[in-house]
Structure 1
Amino acid sequence: MNKDVIGVAGDHAGYEFKEQIKAYLEQKGFSVKDFGACQYDASDDYPVFASDMASAIAKGEYSRGVLFCGTGIGASIAANRHKGVRAALCFTPEMATLSRKHNNSNVVVLGARTLSVDSAKEILDAWLEGDFEGGRHQKRVELLDNLS
């Protein structure tokens, strides 16, 4: 597993947002694996990009990722279909922190049409800084990971 690399993926609605956040992650010293879209194309589909990234996380190739689509809803649904992926759609830094502390989220999902880039950076920072508390939450994460 490459813990030093963060995966990113987004569709046409999240493309510009993804590019800005990708640059922000690189400025913070992270390496980034871009699962697409690699250019703006209004006919592309979020399930493809979200699934490609989530599949790599589920296989253990990467430990975490950031997804983008218009609202974040579709990308969340697509990512969470992969066993072992715990994608959290977050609208506030507090949600991001709690998704790490209580759910051990390994993917944060950001809506390009519902957030500003500055808000997304704050949410991302909170998510990156958050640590899983374990304890009573461990059992719940194991239950999530073992749902069929």
Structure 2
Amino acid sequence: MLIIAIGSDHTGVHYKYVINNFLIEKGHKIKDFGFSKYGIQVDYPDFIHPTAEFVNKGKADFGIIICGSGNGAAMTANKYQKIRAALVWEKEIAILARKHNNANIISIPARFVDKSKIIEIVKIFLETNFEGGRHKIRVEKIPKILSSSAG
């Protein structure tokens, strides 16, 4: 059983419900930070920040974030030191995001992912393991190191 945090803006509400139902059927625990109403516009950072923070603190194994293009959600989530949010719209990108980048959040562009692919993309993301090796070295270089000597 995985613990998965999920957050979305108004463009991702439908996908959020579809994904939540799938994850619950698979026996996973969901922490839903997403918007829940149709027809009302909201600002994605209001829902992405708590999702990313939950994953960043180690309270969830993975996160799923959804907005119109996926870009704003990914940019917001990637402000957190321990987050590696990957913009994913195809199966192959989901595989590489996990295998090579050890992504812990998937950012889904609701306006650009076909409804028939969404569950398969999420399933692949959650089931693909990080390869480590040369990729581990690269991933370790991602967080910015805070120091007073940086010029």
**Shared fold (TM-score, shorter chain, > 0.5):** yes
2:98 counterpart of 1:138: no
Specify the alignment match of 2:44 in structure 1. Answer: 46
* 1:147/1:75 CA distance change after superposition, 3 Å: farther
Q: Match for 1:113 among 111, 135, 146?
A: 111
For residues 22-73 of structure 1, the C-alpha deviation after alignment (integer angstroms, 9 at most, x for no partner) is 1111112211110121323623110111111101111111121111111111
Which has more helix, going by share of residues?
1
The percent identity for this pair of structures is: 39
The total of aligned residue pairs comes to: 146
How big is the shift at 1:97? 0.6
SS across alignment from 1:91 = coil
Q: Distance in 2 between matches of 1:69 and 1:88?
A: 13
Uncovered stretches (5+) of structure 2, i.e. residues with no partner? 147-151
Uncovered stretches (5+) of structure 1, i.e. residues with no partner? none
Q: Distance in 2 between matches of 1:147 and 1:39?
A: 40
Specify the alignment match of 2:56 in structure 1. Answer: 58
How big is the shift at 1:145? 2.6
Q: What's the TM-score, normalizing by structure 1?
A: 0.92
How big is the shift at 1:20? 1.1
Asked if 1 retains the 8 angstrom alpha-carbon contact of 2:16 and 2:34, the reply is no
SS across alignment from 1:44 = coil
2:69 counterpart of 1:71: yes
Specify the alignment match of 1:88 in structure 2. Answer: 86
Q: Distance in 2 between matches of 1:116 and 1:147?
A: 38
Q: Distance in 2 between matches of 1:46 and 1:137?
A: 30
Equivalent residue letter for 2:26: K
Asked if 1 retains the 8 angstrom alpha-carbon contact of 2:6 and 2:32, the reply is yes
* 1:41/1:47 CA distance change after superposition, 3 Å: farther
Specify the alignment match of 2:97 in structure 1. Answer: 99
